[in-house]
Amino acid sequence: MNIETMETHAFDVLVLGSGGAGLRAAVEAASEGGVSVAIVGKSLLGKAHTVMAEGGAAASIGNVDAPDSWQTHFYDTMKSGHYINNYRTVEVFAKEAPARVLELEQWGAVFDRTPEGRIMQRAFGGHSFRRLAHIGDRTGMELLRTLQYKAISMDIKVFQEVTITRLLMDGSRVAGAMGYYRADGHFILLKAKAIVLATGGWGKVYKVTSNSWESTGDGAAMAYRIGADLKDMEMVQFHPTGMVWPPGVAGLLVTEGVRGEGGLLYNSEKERFMKRYDPERQELSTRDVVARSIFKEVQAGRGTPHGGAWLDISHKKADFIKQKLPGMYEQILTLGDIDITKQPFEVAPTCHYQMGGVQAHAETCATTVPGLFAAGEVACGLHGANRLGGNSLADILVFGRRAGIAARDYATSLKKAPEIDDTQVEAEVARILEPFNRPDGENPYAIHQELQEAMSTHAAIVRSEDDLKVGLNKILSLKERAKRMGIKGGRVYNPGWHAVFDVENMLLLSELIVRGALERKESRGGHWRSDYPDELPEMGKWNFVHQYSEDGDRITRVPVPEMPPELAEICARPVAPGREKVAGSSQVPPRKE
């Protein structure tokens, strides 16, 4: 027992996750001083999955298309989410996104410019106006780096490469977190009055994914285990354009910016098939529609040699492509041996984002556990059944800040710091070390691989009752085997050991995805059931909430919050606000073919 090597700290606000949402929350929590703030990341600072966001941050600043407004952004986001979003979350988001983007400029972010010298905005799928503030095709990196340097200039304690394995409780409220340093394996106990979960998604449950290794859903799984409600878990986004070939890079993201800048999709018969599936928006339809269309083309035998579609931007000038999409140009040239300024390349859907997650209050990001707040991909409410591209980077800014404020207010309102009894800590220490007792136990990497196979085969872009049930059984038997996961080696930087906890979290969340998918007997947004191919008005009235119980997952239907008349009126309009004058013309800005 190495409990004597445990390091203990206490903070008013503890932020778990050092991506964009976590950093934005920490910056806000620390902004007024007088509150101690810490941020914990599983990786080094500045490496979080936010760096992978490419296309831009959606905000109705209206620098390029003046008629844009929060109402239009609201309209687009609700429509794309197929109206199971929390309307109030969307309203707050659409109203605040412009200020959050502009604030980044104040902190050193340098966006691309319009000819007038303002922040440039680009077109993206499902957005009625050119709305995405961007920096070439590396917007996420710019956001993360800006927030990272802002955070280190403030009084915020940063813990890098720390795995958190459990949230600790004082009665029914959250009281801290514990885990260990990855570098040497020594334990760390972090006491806190308030905790912000900003731990991102769990795209690593699928084999073909754009997500980095970190996306294992630790925060969502830990929150569920202490009783937080999870919602809409079946809603998984498959991004239409992941790389397909060579196999080593399958799933790697090709930014929607390629289509935003004029890229076109073709099938093996050189047909612009998106004209058939969505005549109005075509390539700039929403991600659920484009991903499904590519999938259907491949099923119909019109796929590319490696089972995808052709994406072509070579009709644009080489200099333009290299300026607007420098990362894509280089990535596809280096890893795929293809020069995108000269020829088309193959793309296919790749798991990209979780719309579902920890239920969070629209204004405070409060979860159902007192003291616990959630922001960013781990949270649920904004995106409904399908996320719009560019809404995620704006999401982390708007709700990162709001979670920071709410956590700070909650922490300062507490009369007495929560207490953590030793039994919780001792039990967790024993659990963390257990895999070392089984050097010949189940290999966590093998379990992970089998889980990814099961999810990709039975619960991916197309689903059916029979398939989902087979998938569920596979997951449940893997869960049994996972109880015997074991590892070799010591506690110093041992990735096998780290993988054990990642795999446990992914198994749990995979089970919830499948159970949610079984429950939603319709097709809506990212959730496509071949046995229930239609979107059903009756099902659109419900969100599915998952709760932990001793006997397993408990799913309840809760009504989707009903919009007040002034918002319902916006959604009921036949055309997006601001586009009335151009009604009848194309939904998207004019494009050269």
Partner 1 sequence: MADEFILSIFRGDADGGQEVEYRVPRVEGMVVLDAVHHVQAHEAQDLAVRWNCKAAHCGSCSAEINGVPKLMCKTRLDEYEGQTVHIQPMKTFPIIKDLVTDVSWNYEVAKKIPAFHPTVAAPFRMQQWDVDRIQEFHHCIECFLCQDVCHVLRDHQEKSQYYGPRFMVKMAEFEMHPMDRADRIPQIKNEGGIGLCNVTKCCTSVCPQHIHITDNAIIPLKERVADRYYDPIRNFFRKLGGKGDESQPE
Q: Which residues contact 391 (CB under 8 A, 6 or more apart)?
A: 58, 77, 93, 382, 383
Size of the site for partner 1 (CB under 8 A): 70
Neighbours of 482 (CB within 10 A): 21
Nearest approach, Cβ of 214 to partner 1 (angstroms)? 6
Q: Which residues contact 235 (CB under 8 A, 6 or more apart)?
A: 354, 355, 356, 383, 384, 385, 386, 516, 525, 526, 527
Q: Which stretch binds partner 1 (CB under 8 A): 23-31, 169-177, 444-452, 549-557?
A: 444-452
How far is 276 from 268, CA to CA, in rounded Å?
15
Contacting residue, 449, 477, 556, 586, with partner 1 by CB under 8 A: 449
For residues 366-405, which are near partner 1 according to CB under 8 A?
A: none
CA-nearest of 119, 107, 183, 180 to 145 is 107
Q: Which stretch binds partner 1 (CB under 8 A): 131-139, 192-200, 518-526, 529-537?
A: 131-139
How far is 157 from 155, CA to CA, in rounded Å?
7
How far is 238 from 529, CA to CA, in rounded Å?
14
Interaction of residue 492 with partner 1, rule CB under 8 A: yes
Contacting residue, 279, 495, 533, 564, with partner 1 by CB under 8 A: 495
Interaction of residue 40 with partner 1, rule CB under 8 A: no
SS (H, E, C) 26-40: HHHHHCCCCCCEEEE
How far is 296 from 303, CA to CA, in rounded Å?
9
Contacting residue, 72, 494, 523, 543, with partner 1 by CB under 8 A: 494
Contacting residue, 33, 34, 171, 247, with partner 1 by CB under 8 A: 247
Q: Which is nearer to partner 1, 109 or 459 (CB)?
A: 109
Q: Which is nearer to partner 1, 493 or 542 (CB)?
A: 493
Q: Which is nearer to partner 1, 331 or 391 (CB)?
A: 331
SS (H, E, C) 530-592: CCCCCCCCCHHHEEEEEECCCCCCEEEEEECCCCCHHHHHHHHCCCCCCCCCCECECCCCCCC
For residues 301-340, which are near partner 1 according to CB under 8 A?
A: 326-327, 330-331, 334-337
CA-nearest of 464, 576, 433 to 527 is 464
Interaction of residue 142 with partner 1, rule CB under 8 A: yes
Run of H or E including 295: helix 287-299
**C-beta of residue 261 within 8 angstroms of C-beta of residue 124:** no
End-to-end CA distance of the chain: 67
Interaction of residue 213 with partner 1, rule CB under 8 A: yes
Per-residue contact string for residues 152-171; x = within reach of partner 1 by CB under 8 A: xx----x-x-----------
Interaction of residue 149 with partner 1, rule CB under 8 A: yes
Interaction of residue 565 with partner 1, rule CB under 8 A: no
Contacting residue, 3, 44, 536, 583, with partner 1 by CB under 8 A: 44
How far is 554 from 546, CA to CA, in rounded Å?
6
Interaction of residue 48 with partner 1, rule CB under 8 A: yes
Residue 15 CA, chain-centre distance (Å), reads: 17
CA-nearest of 136, 110, 1 to 55 is 136
Contacting residue, 100, 130, 131, 138, with partner 1 by CB under 8 A: 138
How far is 528 from 464, CA to CA, in rounded Å?
8
Contacting residue, 3, 300, 318, 446, with partner 1 by CB under 8 A: 446
Q: Which residues contact 207 (CB under 8 A, 6 or more apart)?
A: 251, 452, 453, 455, 456
Nearest approach, Cβ of 430 to partner 1 (angstroms)? 21
Q: Which is nearer to partner 1, 10 or 102 (CB)?
A: 102
Q: Which is nearer to partner 1, 48 or 289 (CB)?
A: 48
Nearest approach, Cβ of 61 to partner 1 (angstroms)? 8
Q: Which stretch binds partner 1 (CB under 8 A): 66-74, 142-150, 469-477, 548-556?
A: 142-150
Q: Which is nearer to partner 1, 43 or 364 (CB)?
A: 43
Any idea what the Cα angle at residue 328 is, between residues 322 and 330, rounded to 5°? 75
Looking at residue 389, what DSSP letter applies?
T
Known catalytic residues are: 239, 259
Nearest approach, Cβ of 493 to partner 1 (angstroms)? 4
Which residues bind to partner 1, rule: CB under 8 A? 43-49, 51-52, 102-103, 105-108, 110, 112-113, 116-119, 135-136, 138, 141-142, 145, 149-150, 152-153, 158, 160, 183-184, 212-214, 245-249, 252-253, 326-327, 330-331, 334-337, 443-446, 449, 487-490, 492-497, 499
